[in-house]
Structure formats: structure tokens, C-alpha cells
């Protein structure tokens, strides 16, 4: 169903250099060749009635209400399926057309419940609109004939209903599921009068393959598929464009509101990252923002065993500031620090790092990107010169070969995955490098040409072997390399990768990937046309994460697959603002724009603007903060929007470090796991309650708009400002746009960015400055940001985390579609119906050997700790490998992950942990202690245990 005030052009826009000019109802209109008569009419401001057509889907031509008359043509062609031609003369309104349309509508209405006044989509129903447009006044067939009015509703999906009695069998939902989402969950079951939409094998929606993306609901012109919130609340009365606060795709949404209540989130058709599509999280899982677990009052306590005391904002902020100053007096300037969040806005993140550097007077600031994409920042900066992905998402539509390494976009970046799958259905080739058989390997109408099912921890061996084939088989793009890359580093790299020990045959033993398969994949990547690499945390979260990122960049440069559409190196960022939090100077060694703190020129610019002297030495990274806390030199932490206890590796170590600190200030929506170790709790604001910007994985800066007042009285940036003022470092921004002005003035890649420009353009991809005033969709077009592209030697070094007789399996971790990161938001929505617990995936052989059956409780033990999860037996994991997600705190997935980390950035090696798995009958000791501590902390905050 179309949302407030959107024009529906009926058929998709066509791109063509050629145009055609035609006359419609006497109006001359010029459109790109291939445009339908219907779209041309709408562009000329002429409204042709339609039911089965909508501009997000290819025309289908089934409803016959869009018929027109075309001079010189027989009959009444459907305007949605007829391409506009030069010189055509079209009439959209004639008495005959009116008759035919009324006749069609009569047929539809005779089998439609006439309950318009009580229908949830009353006022926003295309059937109703078209009946009005064609002037339907009577239904000659009456309502007594055969009909579908008694058909039962399917209420199984928690977010939308399917009411078949209202279905006009226009097929829009079926096409949306196929074309837009790529799941193919819907069909039209039966024939003629008996036909109706069916999910799966005529099952309930929740039993079918449906992933609840909402595309069908969006496409449905009637109340057949309707959001339950619309049924409950009624139609919205105003709306605002904002950006999803979940993953790094950064989908644009229209928040449809009634007063300050969200009625529904409708994917924004003009959103350049999503083009009107969405996934279950952004579309439906926003209820956490008003969940009863939201903490709305500031609280303080002296010790973590004390009950929390609700206090005023002034008192809480004043207490935090006085504690921070006391600690600094006692333990030195460097004894406190801050952690910024990839879930907060750019402006909020910028303020936290400014507070740390200017008000704390040190560089002890780090971000949760440390534990996900810090190797991307390092690796791409070294090789290409800029710490960011090179493409737009749309660029994938020009790729001929898509290589996905260590990522499962179907689960973690679903809207981009839908676009990628569309390209695959058009015939692009696919290489997947992943230890698991994920949904990316095989799905509806696509299958990987090569699945390199490597052993966890052997990425670098695979990338070097791919490079070996490309070099030794003469598949290098010599012209590109000669013109664009650094000659010395290239010849060193050639010499290195050509060595026999890097051949696929030599590496097969290590990687487990058959040499012929690896050779085939390398040839395809190098010779298959435009080749694009997309990668995720399966690349970065390794001891050699940075090495692998550089190996990927090497491969792209060597084959000339960089600097134009359809190619590139594309890190898929996990959280909504991972890119932004890194851009904003959240790392201890970098000021905004990735400039080193030791650089005197850069530092002096910030010093002049901020009116302080900055420390030229990098501060502590998160793991260093924990170590310093344990050795007694780090005592205070300001943690905004991040749950380090759940998300960081080796939970016991983190908890021990936090327990030894004197003032932990947590700013969050919920009393999260970290807050249980805190002394000051500052309630946070959701993305619906603040203004600002997020930057997605394509470097796209989009607006986040306040659609409801902050439930706590303040947006998060205002709280940071209060804290800064209380610390004696004045901040006086009145709107986040002023913070962006400061960011832009101090950051060369952001010089041209402003709220006003984002407003005008919808979104902007940085760099946006004097050289690129409208932003930069594709990077490194004529030359690399660093000048010449630099090849880096990528020697494979086995992880120190080795399997042994005691720990014979490798555990690797990942995400699932319906949950998000630590789950704090999605666990507080109906998304738990899809995934209510973390499970251990284990291969049937490994399970059988251990006597583990489906759903059994399994104890998993590593060198770090133990936890207990239920088993899912599946061949998606290979023998010797087990897998789990980390969305539930009580699972304790990070109790077992270790302190191993990337050599360059300390990004934890989440993807490789040697473990043993055995059937057990009770929770692990850690879990029992967690339950006790959790209960105690909830009591101290006078909260009940969460009931979902
Ligand atoms: S919600 Fe999405 S996946 Fe489910 S049937 Fe509709 S379009 Fe298909
Ligand atoms: S459910 Fe809606 S979109 Fe699907 S066929 Fe019926 S009326 Fe059309
Ligand atoms: S794909 Fe990502 S950004 Fe888009 S709706 Fe889903 S979670 Fe939100
Ligand atoms: S809108 Fe053209 S046939 Fe239905």
C-alpha cells in the first residue's frame, strides 16, 4: 500500500539515452525510451486508474483497469504494459474506457466485503480510490453469488495479517516477494475464481519461507495484507523521513505517525540505499523504542552492590563529572576514558570523542568498531589510502562476478542481499568464501559457482592462493597496475605470491579447499568481467584480519577491479553507523577523518577550534583499557550506547576489569549487561527521538529525524554536552546541525557536508568537499587516494588458537536475520518468534560421535570458559566446525571466545575458538553465576526479569 503523499508512477523508471515524445490527452510528454504509457501519463500529471501495477514492480497487465485508446491501434491496450512510442496519441478518458473500467470494478467489488468504514485501510486503499475514480455506483451482479467473504484470516505473522476475503488477486505481493525481496515465498494457488495468494505450500505465513520483509504488504493495494499496527492504531496523519537504526545498509524509512506514536515504518522509495525495500528489523522491529524495559530516569550508586537511586539529570551528570575529576586527581589524567557507539549518530559520536580529548584531556577513546571493522580501516588505508568501501550498493547491478567473503548478507545486510540476488538472477557469477553453507551459497534461483568452504582461520592462505593463480596464470591487468599502482610493492608482491608454497595445491592442506576449485574461482574473478568483492566480519575478526583486508585490496588492484561501477572492495558494515563512528575520530590514534593524532598540523587545527592543547600520543584501545583497569591504572569510563560486556570477547575478563573500576557511566536505552557494572546510568534516546546523521557502508550520510520527543527529556548528544559542561569544558550546541558544521569545517572529506545539503540531496556519500561538492559514489576512479595503490605482502600465519585433543572443534560465530547484534533491541520485539535463543550448530558426524541429538543441551568449553546451548544438527557446518550466534546474554557466546586479536588493530578473533562440545544436563557454572548476578542487578534497579 502506498504511503502518505507518494506518487505511484505505475511502472519502474527506465534509464535510456534515447527519449520518445507522445501526446496523452492532448498533453505532449517526453520520456526515456522503454517507459510505459502509464508512467508517461503519470509524469504528465494524468492519472490512469490501475490496480495490478505499481512503480516498484515490473508491469503484469492482469487487472485491465488501466486500458487506454491509442490512435491507429485496435482495441484497448493496457497502459502499464504498453511502451510509449514517438508520435503516439493516447486517450485515457473516453466513455468506452469508463464503461470497461466500471465493468471490471463491478466484478472485483461483487466479491469484496463492503466494510469500507471499518476497514483498517479505509482512506488508503487503492481499490477504494479506483472505484471512486471510475465512478462505480452500483454492482449489478449483487453480492449473493459465489464469493470469498468467509475465508479465514492468517494472523500467524506477528506484524501483518493476510485477509484473503479482500484479495483481488492482482499478484503484486507475489511479484514483490520475487522481484524485490527474492524469497519466492508466495504463489497464486488455484485457478480462475478459486485463485488466492498462498504462502509456501499453502501454509500459514509463519510456517513458510517468508522472512517478513514486508515487501508484499507494501505492494498490496487493498487491506488484504496489512500491518497489525495500522489495524490497531488506524491510519497515520503525518510522516517524516529517517534512517533505519539497525544495520549498515542504512535504509531510508518514512516514519508514519499519529501524533507522537509510530503507526508504521514504510521503506522510503527515494532511499538511495534501499529504493523502497526493507527487512523485518527496520520495517517492523521498532517496538523496543517504547518497550516497558526502557530506562527513563538517571540513576546513581556508589558501589555496584548498592541499590540504584533515581536522581535528577543535574545530580546524575554532576556526580559523574565529580567522580571523573576525583579519579583523575587521584590516578592521573589518563585514568579515565570513553567508548563511542556505532549505533549513535555521527554528531553524538563526534561529541563523545571531543569530550574525551578536550574535557578528559587524553585520547582514551575507542569504539565498538574496534571489535568488528577496525582491520578494514587499517587494511584499506594502507593499500588504497582511504578507510572505507569503494562503491555504492547499486554498483552491484553492474557486477559480472560477485565474490562474497566471510559475510552472509542474507542474514546481516538483507536489503542489499536482495539487490545482490537480483543481479545473480540476471546471470552474474557468484563465488562464496565461507566455512559454512550460508543462505548466500544457494537460494531461490541462484547458486554459487564456487563455494570455497575453507577451514576457519585460513582466509589469508586462500587469498594468497587466489593471487598465486592470478599471477602465475598471467591474469594480471598489467595496464591498470602499471598506471595506477606502486611498482616496487607490486614486484615484491608478485615475487611473494608466485612462490610454490602459496599455490592452491600447497595451501589445500591448510585451507581444506580443493586446489582445482580454488583455481576455478581465481580465474573467474580475474577474467569474468566486472568483479566485485563484498566482505564481512568473517574477514576482519581474525588474528590476521588486517592482512586479509590487504589481501583483498591486492587482488582487486592486480585485476584492475577498482575505480568504476560493478567492481571494488566493499566491507559490509554490521551496525548502522560503524562507518560513521570510525569517520568521527573514535579511535585513540585518529582525529576525525582518519588523521593521526601525532600529526602536528591536524592537531593544531583542532586545538585552535576547541581551545585546548591535545595530547599527541594515542590513547588506550578498549582491550588496553581493560588491562589497565585490572592493573589499577584505569578507573573511570563513559560508555555511550555500547554493551561491551556482551559484545566483547572473553566476558569474564571484561567483567573482572569493569568490577575493578570506580566510576562507570553507562548511557543506554536499557539496563544492559554493562550497566550492571555501572555507577551512573544515563538513560539514552532511541533513533526516533533525536536528530542527526548515520553513515552507512557505502559512506552515505543520511538524516535521522526526531519524530517523537525524547522520552527521557534529552537526546543523547545533549547529555554528552551536559557532562562536558559539568566537567568545565563548555559546549553550547543548540542543534546537531551545528555539530555537523564543526565536523565539516575540521574534516577535509566532510568539508561540503551540511544538513541543508543532505536535505536537498536526500543523502551524500563522502568525500564531499571542494573537489566533489555532490559527494563521491565511487572511490579511486582516476587514482588512489594514497596516490599509487600499494600492494602488501600477505604471509599466512596460523592462528595461535589451535585445535587439540582437549579442544578438537573450531567455534565460529555470526548473526541471524531476525536478531541484531547483542539483541538488546530485537529481543524486545516480536522478532523473538523467529529466533528465541542462540543455538550451537554442529555437523551430524561430530554430533553422533559425542552422542548429541537435535535440541540436546550441549556444554561448550574453550580455554576461556564454558557455556551451555541447545544443539542444532546441520550439514551447513563442516565436520570439525561448530557455530553459534551471540544475540542473547544468557548464552554467553563470548564467555568462550578468547583474547586473541588482529595483530594490527586488536580486533578480536571471534571467528576462531578451539572448543569441545559435550551433552550436559545443566547450565554452566558461568551461566548459574550470570543468572544470580542478573537477578541481583535487576532487583537493585527494582526491575523484573525481562519476560521475552
Ligand atoms: S513478507 Fe517478504 S518474504 Fe514474506 S511473503 Fe511478503 S515479500 Fe515474501
Ligand atoms: S494479497 Fe494484495 S497484493 Fe496480493 S494478490 Fe491479493 S490484493 Fe494483490
Ligand atoms: S537491511 Fe538493515 S538498514 Fe535496512 S531495514 Fe534491514 S536492518 Fe534496517
Ligand atoms: S494496472 Fe495495468 S493491467 Fe492492471
DSSP 813-848: EE--TT--TT-TTGGGSGGGGT--S-EEEE-HHHHH
- How does strand 857-862 pair with strand 866-873? antiparallel
Is the pLDDT at 4 greater than 70? The verdict is no
Between 393 and 142, residue with greater pLDDT: 393
Give the ligand at the shortest distance from the Cα of 173.
2
Residue nearest to atom 8 of ligand 3 (CA): 282
Query: Cα(169) to centroid of ligand 2, in Å?
Result: 5
For the CA of 66, the closest atom of ligand 4 is 2
Residues above pLDDT 90, as percent of the chain = 79
410 Cβ below 6 A of ligand 1: no
User: Rounded distance, CA 620 to CA 338, Å?
Assistant: 10
pLDDT of residue 747: 96
β-bridge mates for residue 869, sequence order: 858
Count the alpha carbons within 13 Å of 895 in the hemisphere toward its beta carbon. 20
Distance, CA 33 to ligand 2 centroid (Å)? 30
Helices 459-472 and 487-497 cross at an angle (nearest 10°) of: 100
Q: What is each CA distance from 879 to 803, 859, 873, 883, in whole angstroms?
A: 13, 18, 11, 11
For ligand 1, mutation pick of 54, 161, 171, 176 (most atoms within 8 Å of CB) = 176
Check residue 787 and report its DSSP letter.
B
Residues with CB under 6 A from ligand 3: 244, 246-247, 249-251, 274, 278-279, 281-282, 413-415
Cα–Cα distance for residue pair 879/453, rounded to 1 Å: 11
Which-ligand-closest: CA of 199? Answer: 1
Mean pLDDT of the chain: 93
Ligand 2 midpoint to CA 179 (Å): 15
Which residues neighbour 310 within 8 Å (Cβ) at sequence distance 6 or greater? 297, 298, 299
Q: Nearest residue CA, atom 7 of ligand 1?
A: 177
Atom in ligand 4 nearest the alpha carbon of residue 50 = 1
C-alpha cell read off for 155: 494472523
How many angstroms is it from 101 CA to the middle of ligand 4?
11
Indicate if ligand 1 lies below 6 Å from the C-beta of 186.
Answer: yes
What proportions of the chain, in percent to the nearest 5, are helix, strand and coil? 35, 20, 45
Scanning the structure block, which residue is given the C-alpha cell 553507562? Answer: 666
Residue nearest to atom 8 of ligand 2 (CA): 170
- pLDDT at res. 136: 79
Question: How many angstroms separate the alpha carbon of residue 77 from the centre of ligand 4?
Answer: 10
Rounded distance from Cα 220 to ligand 2 centre (Å): 5
Pairing of strands 309-310, 299-300: antiparallel
Q: What is the number of the ligand 4 atom nearest to the C-alpha of 81?
A: 2
pLDDT, tens digit, for every residue of 50-78?
A: 999 999 999 999 999 999 999 999 999 99
Q: Which residue bears the cell 541447545?
A: 870
| CA 119 / ligand 4 centre spacing (Å) | 24
Measured from the alpha carbon of residue 127, the closest ligand is 2
Whether 405 and 434 have beta carbons less than 8 Å apart is answered as yes
Q: How far apart are CA 612 and CA 616, in angstroms?
A: 12
Distance of CA 759 to the CA centre of its chain: 22
Condensed to tens digits (0 to 9), the pLDDT of residues 296-353 reads: 999 999 999 999 999 999 999 999 999 999 999 999 999 999 999 999 999 999 999 9
Question: Which cell numbers hold the place of 249?
Answer: 545498509
Q: In this predicted structure, what is the pLDDT of residue 5?
A: 63
- 415 touches 404 (CB < 8 A): no
Give the number of whichever ligand sits closest to the CA of residue 282.
3
Report how far ligand 2's centroid is from the alpha carbon of 28 (Å).
34
Please give the Cα distance from 655 to 892 (Å, whole number): 12
Q: Is the shortest distance between the CB of 44 and ligand 1 below 6 Å?
A: no
What pLDDT is recorded for position 478?
A: 97
The tens digit of pLDDT for each residue in 126-138 reads 988 888 888 877 7
How big is the CA angle at 248 (ends 526 and 867), to the nearest 5 degrees? 100
What cell numbers appear for 913 in the block?
Answer: 575458538
* CA of 225, closest atom in ligand 1: 6
CA distance 948 to 946: 6
Q: Can you tell me which residue has the cell 546471470?
A: 427
Looking at all shown ligands, the one closest to residue 267's CA atom is 3
More confident residue, 541 or 935: 935
Residue 232 has pLDDT above 70, yes or no: yes
CA of 215 to the centre of ligand 3 (A): 13
Place of cell 527506465: 14
Ligand 3 atom closest to the CA of 274, numbered from 1? 4
Do the beta carbons of residue 3 and residue 254 sit within 8 Å?
Answer: yes
Residue 372 scores a pLDDT above 80: no
Given this model, what pLDDT does residue 819 score? 83
- Closest Cα to atom 7 of ligand 2: 167
pLDDT of residue 263: 96
Question: What DSSP string describes 394-409?
Answer: GGGGG-SEEEEES--H
For the Cβ of 401 lying below 6 angstroms from any atom of ligand 1, the answer is: no
Rounded to whole angstroms, how far apart are CA atoms 457 and 448?
A: 21
Q: Which atom of ligand 2 is nearest to 188's Cα?
A: 5
Among the listed residues 127, 70, 72, 79, the one whose alpha carbon sits nearest the alpha carbon of residue 104 = 127
C-alpha cell at 757: 545539503
Cα(133) to ligand 3 centroid in Å equals 36
* Residue 1 scores a pLDDT above 50: no
Cα 236 to middle of ligand 4, angstroms: 27
Question: What are the pLDDT digits (tens) for 843-890?
Answer: 999 999 999 999 999 999 998 888 999 999 999 999 999 999 888 877
Strands (E), 105-205: 160-162, 186-189, 196-199
Distance of CA 62 from the midpoint of ligand 4 (Å): 6
H runs (alpha helix) in 262-397: 280-284, 313-331, 346-354, 374-383
- For residue 217, the ligand 1 atom closest to its alpha carbon is 6
What is the average per-residue pLDDT within 444-465? 96
Question: Which position has the grid cell 499478484?
Answer: 171
Q: Which ligand is nearest to the CA of 696?
A: 3
Question: Looking at ligand 4, which atom is closest to the CA of residue 38?
Answer: 2
- List all residues whose CB is within 6 A of at least one atom of ligand 4: 50-53, 61-66, 78, 80
Where on the phi/psi map is residue 116: left (φ > 0), alpha (ψ -120 to 50), or beta?
A: alpha
CB of 937 shorter than 6 A to ligand 1: no
Candidate of 215, 228, 264, 278 to mutate for ligand 1, largest count of ligand atoms within 8 Å of Cβ: 215
| Pairwise CA distance, residues 597 & 516, whole Å | 47
Strand 569-571, strand 590-591: pairing? unpaired
Site to probe by mutation for ligand 1, drawn from 54, 183, 415 as the one with most ligand atoms within 8 Å of Cβ, is: 183
Q: Quick one: pLDDT at residue 945?
A: 54
Residue 928 Cα to ligand 2 midpoint, Å, equals 50
Report the pLDDT value the prediction gives residue 948, as an integer from 0 to 100: 34
pLDDT at 589: 94
Give 443's contacts (C-beta < 8 A, 6+ positions apart).
Answer: 182, 410, 421
Q: How far is the CA of 431 from the centre of ligand 1 (A)?
A: 26
Start-end of H helices in 528-599: 537-540, 545-558, 578-583
Report residue 575's pLDDT band, with 50, 70 and 90 as the boundaries: confident
What pLDDT sits at residue 605? 96
Ligand 4 atom at minimal distance to the Cα of residue 64:
3
Span of 137-146, 342-351, 506-515 with lowest mean pLDDT: 137-146
Ligand 1 and 183: CB distance under 6 A:
yes
Residue nearest to atom 4 of ligand 2 (CA): 173
From the alpha carbon of 214, which atom of ligand 1 is closest?
1
Rounded CA separation 905/549 (Å): 12
Ligand 2 pocket at CB < 6 A: 167-173, 197, 219-222, 224-225
- Spatial neighbors of 96 by CB under 8 A, at least 6 apart, are 69, 76
Dihedral, CA atoms, 653, 658, 661, 664, nearest 10 degrees?
160
Read out DSSP for 17-51? S-EEEEEETTEEEEEETT-BHHHHHHHTT-----S
Per cent of the chain over pLDDT 70 is 98
**What integer is the mean pLDDT of 473-478?**
97
Distance 53 CA to ligand 4 centre (A): 5
| Per-residue pLDDT reduced to its tens digit, 544-568 | 999 999 999 999 999 999 999 999 9
User: What pLDDT shows up at residue 532?
Assistant: 98
Closest CA to 905 of 120, 378, 308: 378
Question: How far apart are the CA of 575 and the centre of ligand 3, in A?
Answer: 10
Q: Residue 219 Cα, ligand 1 centroid: separation in angstroms?
A: 10
Nearest ligand to the CA of 279 is 3
pTM: 0.94
Pocket test for ligand 4, best of 54, 66, 133 (most atoms within 8 A of CB): 66
Select the more confidently predicted residue: 649 or 661: 661
210: pLDDT strictly greater than 60: yes
Strand-strand pairing, 839-842 and 866-873:
parallel
Residue 392 grid cell: 555504492
- Whether the pLDDT of residue 418 is over 80: the answer is yes
Q: Reply yes or no: is the peptide bond before residue 684 cis, omega within 30 of 0.
A: no
- Residue 177 vs residues 63, 165, 426, 458, 835: alpha-carbon distances, Å: 19, 20, 16, 37, 22
Predicted confidence at residue 947, as pLDDT, reads 40
Sheet holding 238-243, edge to edge: 238-243, 252-258, 261-267
| DSSP output for 664-689 | EEEEESS--TGGGG-SEEEE---GGG
- How many Cα atoms sit within 13 Å of 302 on the Cβ side? 0
pLDDT of residue 537 exceeding 80: yes
What is the number of the ligand closest to the CA of 277?
3
pLDDT of residue 245: 94
Atom of ligand 4 nearest to the CA of 53: 1
Residue to mutate (ligand 1; options 159, 185, 418; most atoms within 8 A of CB): 185
Task: Give distance in angstroms: CA of 833 to centre of ligand 3.
Answer: 18
User: How would you class 689 by CB atoms within 10 Å of its CB: exposed for 0-12, middle for 13-18, buried for 19 or more?
Assistant: buried
Amino acid at each position: 500500500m502506498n504511503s502518505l503523499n507518494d506518487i505511484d508512477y505505475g511502472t519502474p523508471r527506465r534509464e535510456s539515452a534515447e527519449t520518445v515524445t507522445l501526446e496523452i490527452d492532448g498533453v505532449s510528454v517526453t520520456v526515456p525510451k522503454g517507459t510505459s504509457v502509464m508512467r508517461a501519463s503519470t509524469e504528465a500529471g494524468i492519472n490512469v486508474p490501475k490496480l495490478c501495477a505499481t512503480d516498484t514492480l515490473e508491469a503484469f497487465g492482469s487487472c485491465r483497469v488501466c486500458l487506454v485508446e491509442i490512435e491507429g491501434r485496435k482495441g484497448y491496450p493496457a497502459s502499464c504494459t504498453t511502451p510509449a512510442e514517438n508520435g503516439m496519441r493516447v486517450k485515457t478518458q473516453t466513455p468506452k474506457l469508463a464503461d470497461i473500467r466500471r465493468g471490471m470494478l463491478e466484478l472485483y467489488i461483487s466479491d469484496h466485503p463492503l466494510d469500507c468504514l471499518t476497514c483498517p485501510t479505509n482512506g488508503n486503499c487503492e481499490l477504494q480510490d479506483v472505484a471512486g475514480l471510475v465512478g462505480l455506483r452500483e454492482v449489478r451482479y449483487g453480492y449473493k453469488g459465489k464469493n470469498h467473504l468467509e475465508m479465514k484470516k492468517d494472523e500467524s505473522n506477528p506484524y501483518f495479517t493476510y485477509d484473503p476475503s479482500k484479495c483481488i488477486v492482482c499478484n503484486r505481493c507475489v511479484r514483490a516477494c520475487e522481484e524485490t525481496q527474492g524469497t519466492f515465498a508466495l504463489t497464486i494457488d488455484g485457478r480462475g475464481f478459486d485463485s488466492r495468494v498462498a504462502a509456501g505450500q499453502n501454509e500459514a505465513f509463519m510456517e513458510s519461507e517468508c522472512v517478513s520483509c514486508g515487501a508484499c504488504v507494501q505492494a498490496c493495494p487493498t487491506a488484504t495484507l496489512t500491518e497489525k499496527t495500522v489495524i490497531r492504531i488506524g491510519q497515520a496523519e503525518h510522516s517524516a523521513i529517517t534512517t533505519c537504526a539497525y544495520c549498515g545498509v542504512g535504509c531510508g524509512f518514512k516514519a508514519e505517525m499519529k501524533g507522537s506514536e509510530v503507526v508504521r515504518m514504510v521503506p522510503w522509495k527515494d532511499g538511495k540505499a534501499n529504493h523502497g525495500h526493507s527487512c523485518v528489523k527496520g520495517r517492523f522491529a521498532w517496538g523496543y523504542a517504547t518497550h516497558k524495559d526502557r530506562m527513563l530516569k538517571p540513576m546513581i550508586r556508589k558501589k555496584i552492590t548498592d541499590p540504584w537511586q533515581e536522581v535528577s539529570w543535574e545530580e546524575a551528570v554532576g556526580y559523574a563529572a565529580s567522580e571523573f575529576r576525583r579519579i583523575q586527581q587521584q590516578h592521573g589524567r589518563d585514568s579515565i576514558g570513553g567508548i563511542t557507539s556505532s549505533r549513535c549518530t555521527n554528531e553524538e559520536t563526534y561529541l563523545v570523542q571531543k569530550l574525551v580529548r578536550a574535557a578528559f584531556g587524553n585520547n582514551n577513546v575507542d569504539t565498538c568498531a574496534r571489535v568488528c571493522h577496525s582491520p578494514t580501516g587499517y587494511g584499506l588505508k594502507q593499500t588504497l589510502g582511504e578507510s572505507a568501501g569503494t562503491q555504492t550498493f547499486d554498483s552491484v547491478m553492474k557486477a559480472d562476478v560477485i565474490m562474497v567473503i566471510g559475510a552472509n548478507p542474507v542474514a546481516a545486510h538483507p536489503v542489499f542481499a536482495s539487490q545482490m540476488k537480483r543481479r545473480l538472477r540476471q546471470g552474474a557469477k557468484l563465488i562464496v568464501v565461507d566455512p559454512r553453507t550460508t543462505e548466500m551459497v544457494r537460494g531461490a534461483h541462484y547458486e554459487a559457482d564456487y563455494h570455497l568452504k575453507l577451514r576457519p582461520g585460513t582466509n589469508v592462505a586462500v587469498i594468497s592462493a587466489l593471487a598465486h593463480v592470478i599471477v602465475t596464470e598471467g591474469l594480471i591487468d598489467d595496464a591498470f597496475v602499471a598506471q595506477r599502482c606502486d611498482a616496487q610493492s607490486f614486484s615484491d608482491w608478485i615475487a611473494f605470491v608466485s612462490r610454490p608454497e602459496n599455490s592452491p595445491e600447497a595451501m589445500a592442506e591448510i585451507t581444506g579447499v580443493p586446489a582445482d576449485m580454488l583455481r576455478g574461482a581465481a580465474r573467474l574473478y580475474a577474467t569474468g568481467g566486472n568483479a566485485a568483492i563484498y566482505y564481512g566480519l568473517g574477514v576482519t575478526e581474525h588474528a590476521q584480519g588486517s592482512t586479509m583486508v590487504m589481501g583483498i585490496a591486492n587482488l582487486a588492484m592486480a585485476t584492475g577491479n577498482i575505480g568504476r561501477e560493478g567492481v571494488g572492495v566493499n566491507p559490509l558494515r554490521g551496525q548502522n553507523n560503524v562507518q560513521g563512528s570510525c569517520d568521527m575520530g573514535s579511535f585513540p590514534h585518529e582525529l576525525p577523518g582518519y588523521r593521526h593524532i601525532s600529526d602536528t598540523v591536524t592537531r593544531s587545527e583542532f586545538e585552535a577550534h576547541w581551545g585546548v592543547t591535545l595530547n599527541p600520543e594515542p590513547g588506550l584501545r578498549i582491550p588496553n583499557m581493560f588491562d589497565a583497569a585490572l592493573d589499577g591504572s584505569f578507573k573511570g569510563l563513559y560508555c555511550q550506547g555500547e554493551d561491551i560486556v556482551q559484545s566483547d570477547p572473553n566476558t569474564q575478563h571484561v567483567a573482572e576489569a569493569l568490577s575493578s573500576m570506580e566510576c562507570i557511566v553507562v548511557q543506554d536505552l536499557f539496563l544492559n549487561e554493562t550497566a550492571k557494572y555501572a555507577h551512573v546510568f544515563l538513560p539514552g534516546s532511541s533513533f526516533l527521538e533525536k536528530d542527526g546523521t548515520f553513515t552507512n557502508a557505502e559512506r552515505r550520510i543520511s538524516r535521522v529525524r526526531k519524530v517523537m520527543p525524547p522520552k527521557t527529556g534529552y537526546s543523547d548528544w545533549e547529555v554528552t554536552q551536559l557532562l562536558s559542561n559539568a566537567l568545565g569544558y563548555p559546549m553550547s550546541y543548540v542543534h546537531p546541525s551545528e555539530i555537523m558544521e564543526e565536523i565539516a569545517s575540521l574534516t577535509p572529506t566532510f568539508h561540503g557536508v551540511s544538513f541543508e545539503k543532505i536535505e536537498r540531496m536526500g543523502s551524500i556519500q563522502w568525500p564531499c568537499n571542494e573537489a566533489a561538492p555532490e559527494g563521491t559514489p565511487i572511490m579511486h576512479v582516476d587514482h588512489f587516494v594514497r596516490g599509487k595503490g600499494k600492494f602488501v605482502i600477505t604471509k599466512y600465519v596460523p592462528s595461535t588458537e589451535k585445535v587439540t585433543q582437549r579442544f578438537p572443534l573450531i567455534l565460529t560465530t555470526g548473526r541471524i536475520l531476525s536478531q541484531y547484534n547483542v539483541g538488546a533491541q530485537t529481543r524486545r520485539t516480536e522478532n523473538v518468534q523467529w529466533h528465541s535463543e542462540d543455538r550451537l550448530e554442529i555437523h551430524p558426524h561430530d554430533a553422533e560421535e559425542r552422542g548429541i541429538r537435535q535440541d540436546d543441551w550441549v556444554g561448550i568449553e574453550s580455554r576461556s570458559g564454558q557455556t551451555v546451548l541447545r544443539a542444532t544438527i546441520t550439514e551447513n557446518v563442516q565436520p570439525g566446525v561448530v557455530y553459534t550466534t551471540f544475540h542473547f546474554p544468557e548464552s554467553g557466546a563470548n564467555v568462550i571466545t578468547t583474547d586473541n586479536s588482529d595483530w594490527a588493530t586488536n580486533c578480536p578473533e571471534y571467528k576462531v575458538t578451539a572448543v569441545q562440545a559435550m551433552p550436559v544436563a545443566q547450565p554452566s557454572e558461568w551461566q548459574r553465576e550470570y543468572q544470580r548476578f542478573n537477578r541481583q542487578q535487576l532487583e537493585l534497579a527494582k526491575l523484573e526479569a525481562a519476560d521475552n
